[in-house]
Structure 1
Amino acid sequence: MLQRLQKHLDNDYPFLKGKKLLLAISGGIDSTVLLHLFHALPYEIAVAHCNFSLRGDESDGDERFVSEFCTEQNIRFLTIRFNTQEYATSRKLSIQLAARELRYNWFQRLIDEEGYDYLLTAHHLDDALETFLINLTRGTGLDGLTGIPGQNGQTLRPLLPFSRVEIENYARDNAINWREDSSNASDKYVRNRLRHQVVPVLKELNPNFLQGFQDTLHHLQQAETLTKDAVDSLYKKVVTEKDGQLSIAIEKLKLVPNYKAYLYQWLKSYGFTAWDDIYNLVEAQSGKQVFSGHYRLLKDRDFLLLSKQKTITDQYLEITENQEVALEQGRIKMYPVTNVTDNGDSRIIFVDKDKLKLPLILRKWKEGDYFYPSGMAGRKKISKYFKDEKFSLIDKENCWLLCSGDEIIWVVGKRADRRFTTEETTNTIIKIELQLW
C-alpha cells in the first residue's frame, strides 16, 4: 500500500513535494494509517486533532493516543477542544454539521496562521461510496454522484483510491494500533446505516462491487467534465454579465434541446430549489420572479435576469454643495466650477445654482413622476421614459432621481432635466457627477 500511495502521489499530487502538510488525525483506523503512511514518506507533516467533547473519557483518550504517538515520533501536534453540543444548539445545527463546521474552520485558521500549504484527510473509497448513496437517496444532480473530490482547494484526500479493507489489512500487517470510536457501531446516523446494512449486501451480490463502483465514478467524472465544457460553451453564447447581474437571452436558450439542464447548471450555485418555477419563467409573463435565499430570477421581456436581492436601504438622501453621497453603483459628487466642459457623458451634468433648492434630494421613483428631458420638447413621465429606454424591473429599482424640491433635476447617470441647465447669465455653475465604483 505504501508503494501504491507513493505512485498515486507522484502521479496526481506531484506539487506536494517540499510543501508543509497538515494531517487531520482523529485516532481512528483510517486517519491513523494515513499518519503512519505519511510519516514513512519524505514529506514535512504536522498533526491536527479535534476533541469534540462528545464522548467524555473516550474523547480525551483519543487525544492522548494521538499526542503520545506524535511525541514519540517527533511530529508537531496541534489540538483544540470544542463544546460541540453548545455550538450545535446555539446555531440550530445537527451534531454532525456542527462538528464539521468547527473542525474545518479551525483547520483553515491553522493553514492561514501557521503557514501550512495543504490539509490532508483520510477519506477513502468506502467513504466515497457512502456519500454517493446518501446523495442518491436524497436526490441529486451529476455532481452529487461523482463522489468525494480528491482535491477541494487546499484540502486533499490521498486515500480515495483505497478501500476500507485495504486500510484494515495495512494496519494489521504493520501492527498499527488505533482508537475505536464507539459511535461508529450505532445506526443512529444515515451513513452508519448504509455502512452496516446496505453496503455489505451490495458487496455480497458482487465481490468486485467496489472496483465496479470505482470504474463508475471514473465514467461519471468524465461525463461531468464533458457536461461542464458544454455548459461553459453555451454560457458564452447565451449569458451576459454586467454590474453583478446575469442576463440570459431566452430566444437563444430555447434553440437548445433540453435547455432546462443548462439553466440548472448555471443557476444551481445561487441557492435556488424551486426548479419547476424557474423553468416556467421561460414562457411566463414579463415581471414574474423566483427567489432563493439571496438571489432572484426575473422574467423581463426577452431575458431572464439574475441579481442579488438587495437589503433595505435609505430611499431618501440629501446632498448639497461640496459634498458626496454613496449609492449602490457609485458616489454622487456635487461642487462649483468656473465653466461648463460638457463632453456628452450622461454621468455628469452642469446646473445653475440659482435654480436649485438646497439641499438636493436623492430618491427612488414613484408613479406620477415626470421631468423635462434635455434634448427633447415637452415633458415625459418617468415611467414612460423607463419604457422607451427599455429599463428592466431591476434597472428601475436601481435608478435614483436627483430632485430640487419636488422637481426632478436628473435621472441619475441617464438624462438631465433641461429646466436646470446653465445659461449665459448663470452666476454659479454646479457640477454634479456619478463616479462608478
Structure 2
Amino acid sequence: MLQKLQNHINENFPFLNGKRLLIAVSGGIDSMVLVHLLHHLKLNISVAHCNFNLRSGESDGDETFVNSECNHYNIKLFVNHFETKEYADLHKLSIQVAARQLRYDWFNEVLEKEGFDYVLTAHHLDDSIETFLINFTRGTGLEGLTGIPQQNGKIIRPLLIFSRKEIENYAKENDIKWREDSSNASDKYLRNTLRHNVIPIFKELNPGFSDAFQQTLENLQQAHSMVDDASRIVYRKVVEDVNYQKRINLTELMVLPNYQAYLYQWLKPFGFTAWNDIYDLVAAQSGKQVFSEHYRLLKDRNELILAEKNELESEIFPVYEDKENLNVPLKITVCNKGDISLEQKGCIFVDKDTLKFPLTFRKWEEGDYFYPSGMNGKKKLSKYFKDEKYSLIDKENVRILCSENEVVWIVGKRADRRFLANETTQTIIKIELK
C-alpha cells in the first residue's frame, strides 16, 4: 500500500513533494493510516484535529489520543474546539453539514495563517461509493454520480484509490492504533445505513465490487469531463456576460435538442433546485422569475437573465459637495471648462448654481420624470426604460441622483439637460461613478 500510494502521488500529485501539508486527523482508522503512510514517505506534514464536542468524553478522548500519536511521530498538532450543536441550531443546519462547514472553514484559516500549501483528508473508495449512493437516492445530475473528487482547490484526497478493506489490513499489518467513533455504529444517518446494510449486499453479490465500482467512477468522471467541455463551447455561443448578469439567448438555446441539460449545467452552481420551473420559464411570458437563495432567473423577451438578488435597500442617501459620501458610489469635484469632455462615460458636468445640496441618491419611482439631454420636452423614466428595452432587473438596478425632487442624472445612463454645464456656467461640477 505504501508503494502504491507513492506511485499515485508521483503520477497524480507530484506537486506535493516539498510542500507543507496539513493532514485532517479525527483519530479514526482512515486518518491514522494516512498519517502513518505520509510519515513513512517523508512528506512535510502537520496535523489538524477538530473537537466538535458532540460525544462528551469521547470527543476529548479522541483529542488526547491524536495528541499522543503526534508526539510519537514528532508531528506538530493544531486543535480547535467547536460548539457544533449551537452552530447547527443557529444556522438551521444538520449536525453533519454544520461540522463540515466548521471543519473546512478552520482548515482554510490554518492554511492561510500558518503558510501550509494543501490540506489532505483520508477519504477512501468506500466513502466515494457511499456518496454516489446518497446522491443517487436523492436525485442528481451526472456530477453527483462521479464520487468524491481527488482534488478540490487546496483539498487533496490521496486515499481514494484504496478500499476500506485495504486500509483495515494495512492498519493491522503495521500495528497502527486508532479510535472508534461510536456514532459510526448507528444507522441514524443515511451514510451509515448504506455502509452497514446496502453495500455489503453488493460486495456479497460481486466480490470484485469495489474494483468494478472504481472503474465505473472513472468512466463517469471522463463522461462528466466531456459534458463540461461541450457546455463551455455552447455557453460561448448562447450566453453573454453583461454588467454582472448572464443573458441566455433563447433563440440560440431552443435550437438545441437537449437545451434543458445545458440550462442545468450552467445554472446549478448558482443554487437553483426548481428545475421544472426553470424549464417552464423558457416558454413563459416576460417578467416571470425563478429564485435561488442568492440569485434570480428572469424571463425577459427573448432572454433568460441571471443576476444576483438586489440587496440594496430603497433608502435615500444624501450626497454632499464637500465631504465624504457614504453608501454612494459617486465622486464630486469642481473643475474647469477645459476639463469637460463629452467622451467620458460614467460622469456628467453640471452647473453648480442649478443644484441644491445635499443631493439625494435613490431608487427610481413610478411618476419620476426628467428632461433628457439631447431631446426636447420631458419624459417619464418608465417610458425611457421601455424605449431602451430595460429588463425588470435592469430597472431595479437603476439609481437616480436628484436635486430636491428633480432628477439630475439617471446614474451612469442619461443626464437631465436642465442641470448640464454650458458656456455661461460660473462653477462646473463633475459628478462621476467611482
Residue deviations 1:29-78 (CA, integer Å, cap 9, x gap): 11111111111112111122223333333333322332222222322223
Aligned counterpart, 1:298: 298
Q: 1:431 aligns with which of 422, 426, 429?
A: 429
For the 8 Å contact 1:51–1:79, the answer to whether it is kept is: yes
Aligned equivalents of 2:400 and 2:84: distance in 1? 51
Measure how far apart 1:312 and its partner are. 4.0
Q: TM-score, normalised by structure 2?
A: 0.93
Give distance in 2, aligned partners of 1:90 and 1:349. Answer: 47
Q: CA shift at 1:82, angstroms?
A: 3.1
How many residues are paired up?
A: 434
Alignment of 1:283-362 (within 5 A): 283-322=283-322, 325=325, 330-333=329-332, 335=334, 337-338=336-337, 341-345=340-344, 347-362=346-361
Structure 1's 170 and 363: CA in aligned 2 closer, same or farther, altered over 3 A? closer
SS of 1:79's partner is: strand
Aligned-residue offset at 1:382? 2.0
Q: Helix, strand or coil for the counterpart of 2:305?
A: strand
Gap change, CA 1:14 and 1:401, over 3 Å in 2: same
1:405: Cα distance to partner? 3.4
Distance 2:74 2:422 in 1: 83
Letter in 2 for 1:348: C
- Within a 5 Å distance, the mapping from 1:149-160 to structure 2 comes to 149-160=149-160
For residues 92-131 of structure 1, what are the structure 2 equivalents within 5 Å?
Answer: 92-131=92-131
SS in 2 for 1:225: helix
Match of 1:397 in 2: 396
Residue identity matched to 2:217 = L
Letter in 2 for 1:7: N
CA distance in 2, matches of 1:113, 1:188: 37
- 1:18·1:44 contact (CA, 8 Å) conserved in 2? yes
Alignment of 1:46-195 (within 5 A): 46-195=46-195
The CA distance in 2 between the partners of 1:222 and 1:303, in whole Å, is 32
Q: Cα distance, 1:278 vs. partner? A: 1.2
Task: Give the secondary structure class of the aligned counterpart of 1:148.
Answer: coil
| 1:327 shift after superposition | 6.4
Cα separation, partners in 2 of 1:384 and 1:63, compared to 1, 3 Å = closer
Q: Distance in 2 between matches of 1:345 and 1:121?
A: 53
Deviation larger for 46-55 or 36-45: 46-55
| Maintained 8 Å contact 1:318/1:359 | yes
Greater shift after overlay, 51-60 or 279-288?
Answer: 51-60
Distance in 1 of aligned mates of 2:432 and 2:274: 38
1:156-198 CA deviation, whole Å, 9 max, x = no partner? 1111011111111112222223222222211111111101100
- Report if the CA contact (8 A) 1:410-1:417 is conserved: yes
Amino acid at match of 1:22: L
Q: Structure 1 residues 366, 84: closer, same or farther in 2, change over 3 A?
A: closer
Q: Look up the match of 1:417.
A: 416
Give, in whole Å, the separation in 2 of the partners of 1:359 and 1:104. 47
Task: State the Cα distance separating 1:218 from its structure 2 match.
Answer: 0.5
Query: Aligned partner of 1:13: which letter?
Result: F
Secondary structure at the aligned position of 2:149 is classed as: coil
Corresponding residue for residue 273 of structure 1? 273
- Structure 1 stretch displaced more, 284-293 or 45-54: 45-54
Distance 1:158 1:287, change over 3 A: same
Unaligned runs of 5+ in 1: none
Q: Check 1:390–1:63 CA distance in 2 against 1; reply closer, same or farther (3 A cut).
A: same
Contact 2:352 2:429 (C-alpha < 8 Å) held by counterparts? no
Q: Which amino acid aligns with 1:365?
A: W
Question: How far off its partner does 1:357 sit?
Answer: 3.8
Give the CA deviation at 1:2: 0.9
In the TM superposition, what are the counterparts of 1:163-242 in structure 2 within 5 Å? 163-242=163-242
Q: Which has the higher mean CA deviation after the structures are superposed, 142-151 or 88-97?
A: 88-97
**Shift in Å at residue 323 of structure 1?**
5.4
**1:383 counterpart residue number:** 382
The runs of 5 or more residues in structure 2 that have no matched partner are none
CA deviation profile, 1:230-259 (whole Å, cap 9, x unmatched): 111111111111221111111111121111
The alpha carbon displacement at 1:137 in A equals 0.7
Conserved 8 A contact 1:317-1:361? yes
The one-letter amino acid paired with 1:428 is: Q
Q: CA deviation at 1:219?
A: 0.6
Structure 2: distance between partners of 1:221 and 1:334: 57
Structure 1 residue 373: Cα displacement: 2.0
SS of match in other structure, 2:408? strand
Q: Secondary structure at the match of 2:412?
A: coil
Q: Is the CA contact (8 Å cut-off) linking 2:314 and 2:363 kept in structure 1?
A: no
Residues in 2 aligned to 1:105 and 1:346: alpha-carbon distance in whole angstroms: 41
Tell which deviates more after alignment, 10-19 or 52-61. 52-61
Instruction: Give the Å deviation of 1:414.
Output: 2.2
Q: Distance in 1 between matches of 2:53 and 2:409?
A: 62
Cα separation, 2, equivalents of 1:355 and 1:62: 73
Cα RMSD between the aligned structures? 2.2
Distance 2:324 2:58 in 1: 62
Post-superposition offset of 1:380? 2.3
Deviation at 1:100, TM superposition (A): 2.0
- What TM-score do you get using the length of structure 1 for normalisation? 0.92
Letter paired with 2:269: S
Tell me the secondary structure at the aligned position of residue 133 of structure 2.
helix
CA drift of 1:416 comes to 2.4
For residue 401 of structure 2, give the secondary structure of its aligned residue in structure 1: strand
AA at the equivalent of 2:182? S
Check conservation: 1:324, 1:333, Cα contact below 8 A: no
**Which deviations, in whole Å up to 9, do the C-alpha atoms of 1:402-432 show, x marking residues without a partner?**
33333333322222233334444x2523333
Aligned sequence identity (%): 59
Contact 1:321-1:336 within 8 A present in 2 as well: no
Cα deviation, residue 293, structure 1: 1.0
Deviates more, 1:103-112 or 1:213-222: 103-112
